[in-house]
Chains A and B, each alone.
Chain A
Amino acid sequence: MIEFINVNKWFGPIHVLKNINLHISQGEVIVICGPSGGGKSTLIRTINRIEPIQEGEIIVDGFSLTNPKTDAAALRAEIGMVFQHFNLYPHKTALQNIMLAPMKVRGLSKKQAKERATRLLERVGLADKCDNYPVQLSGGEQQRVAIARSLAMQPRIMLFDEPTSALDPELINDVLDVMTSLTKEGITMVIITHEMGFAQRVADRVVFIDKGEILEIEKPSDIFVNPKHDRTAEFMSKILHIPLVPNNKKERINKAE
């Protein structure tokens, strides 16, 4: 579904993605984690070409993103994206926010779009807020509207860029619940999050990125308990508040004993 082949990216002199190779198959739920500034956001943004890459190739759904013939807008319509800061359109109500793209990109009639939007709002538990402007909604509600907005395009891939890190702690669960319910629908999902409990529940694989490199790709059960790499271990222990020792050191310790 999504294939990264030797992807490299620079912001001016800074090498932000180094030789990324990653294959994500259909229906898979991938969680990306790692320290901030490590290239997580950039990686996820290259998937819908909001950030262009300088080297390598990304193939999404059979189309190469580096090929100039690829219609980026059409491809993006198949990829939903949820942002850290929601990015709802402030001049439109919740319902209008959801209806815009289906009407203008998919060519749905106003009635069909409204029907779909209402259904999605119900699904994220906000049926009563349809005529509210974003400013009248709490952060968690805004983020759920943003998820509904992406879902309205019936995407086959969903990208989540730290969807809960701008939220107050008590609002996070509502958003995570909606996301958990999505994982059961066979949509390919790529999620950046620091909610490790959530990651453990839903992720098929966890990718750990630091300094622009993929250090580990593992099943959640492995990466949380038995990290291979020093930096992964350090990061995980900080996040999970438990001391972890990487595999290779364990062996060394065992040998020493």
Chain B
Amino acid sequence: MITGVKITILIAVVTSVLSLLFGTVIAVMRNSRIKPLRFIGKLYVEIFRNIPGLFWLLFFYFVFPEILPFDLGKKLNAYPYYPIVASIIGLTLDNTSYVSDILRSGLLAVPKGQREAAISTGLSRVQQYQYVMLPQTFRKILPPLGTRMIHNFKNTSLCMAITTPELMWATQQIESITFRGLEATTIATLFYILISLSLGAIIILLEKYYKIDIASITKMEA
């Protein structure tokens, strides 16, 4: 069970980081001047938001190796850690769509003048995002982003469906050996609650840390 917790946390951390990265890229794409880029971003978000994460996990575990060129798929299936890899891919893609949506609404809420100020001092397009737009966005969207990350952590429990040896899967194993389903599930639930609540606490601390910034961003917009 402890190994299960470790793998759960591993998957949660990796997917959160990756989806933050990709989410930023997609959000910036959707904010771009170039129409095809905007379209791709929107298509991505619509597809992944409207189909459950569990589906994507099953898809990447069962179907993805099949549609790859023949040898590659076989190699993947033989790879002992493929369930973990598939979980990470599936959850990241799912979570990315949500993260990018949150980020986009944050970006849209940055006042136009901020960008103009950045432009007028000669910052390049990348620098505008890097130093002016994105830092403000991140501070502002911290609460919904935090909620999303907790959700993502909870979603790791879905990975049991594809035999990833994470917490929930371990619980199932114990249940099938001991037939004490209620006790095993209760303990697993406690683990999840504990970790989610501590994640929540971390986010509150982060908000406190950035409090002055957040306050100033909100006040300047008012």
- Chain A residues engaging chain B, CB cutoff 8 angstroms: 48, 50, 73-81, 83, 85, 87-91, 100-101, 104-105, 133-136, 146, 149-150, 153, 159
Query: Of B120, B127, B212, which one neighbours A133 at CB under 8 angstroms?
Result: B212
Q: Is the CB of B139 within 8 A of A135?
A: no
Q: CB of B80 within 8 A of chain A?
A: no
Chain B residues numbered 116-151 whose CB sits less than 8 Å from any CB in chain A: 116-124, 127, 131-132, 135-136, 139
Chain A, interface SS category: mixed
Known: A90-B136, A91-B135, A135-B220. A153 touches B215 (CB 8 A): no
Min distance, Cβ A154 to any Cβ of chain B, angstroms: 11
Q: Is the CB of B121 within 8 A of A89?
A: no
Chain A residue nearest to B137 (CB atoms) is A91
Min distance, Cβ A5 to any Cβ of chain B, angstroms: 23
Q: Is the CB of A89 within 8 A of B123?
A: no
Q: CB of B213 within 8 A of chain A?
A: yes
Min distance, Cβ B123 to any Cβ of chain A, angstroms: 6
Q: How many A-B residue pairs have CB under 8 A?
A: 88
Tell me the bound Cα distance from A146 to B123 in angstroms: 16
Contacts of B198 in A (CB 8 A): none
Q: Chain B 202-222 against A: per-residue CB contact (8 Å), 1 yes, 0 no? A: 000000000011011101100
Tell me the bound Cα distance from A80 to B117 in angstroms: 9
Q: Is the CB of B136 within 8 A of A73?
A: no
Chain B, interface SS category: helix
Q: Is the CB of B124 within 8 A of A73?
A: yes
Chain B residue nearest to A48 (CB atoms) is B120
Q: Is the CB of A133 within 8 A of B216?
A: yes
Contacts of B118 in A (CB 8 A): 89
Known: A50-B116, A87-B116, A89-B117. A101 touches B220 (CB 8 A): no
Q: CB of B114 within 8 A of chain A?
A: yes
Contacts of B136 in A (CB 8 A): 89-91
Tell me the bound Cα distance from A150 to B123 in angstroms: 12
Q: Is the CB of A50 within 8 A of B113?
A: no
- The interface centre, meaning the residue of A75, A91, A133 with most chain B CB atoms within 10 A of its CB, is A91
12 pairs, CB–CB < 8 Å, chain A vs chain B: A73-B124, A77-B121, A89-B117, A89-B118, A89-B131, A101-B123, A104-B123, A105-B122, A133-B213, A135-B215, A149-B117, A150-B120
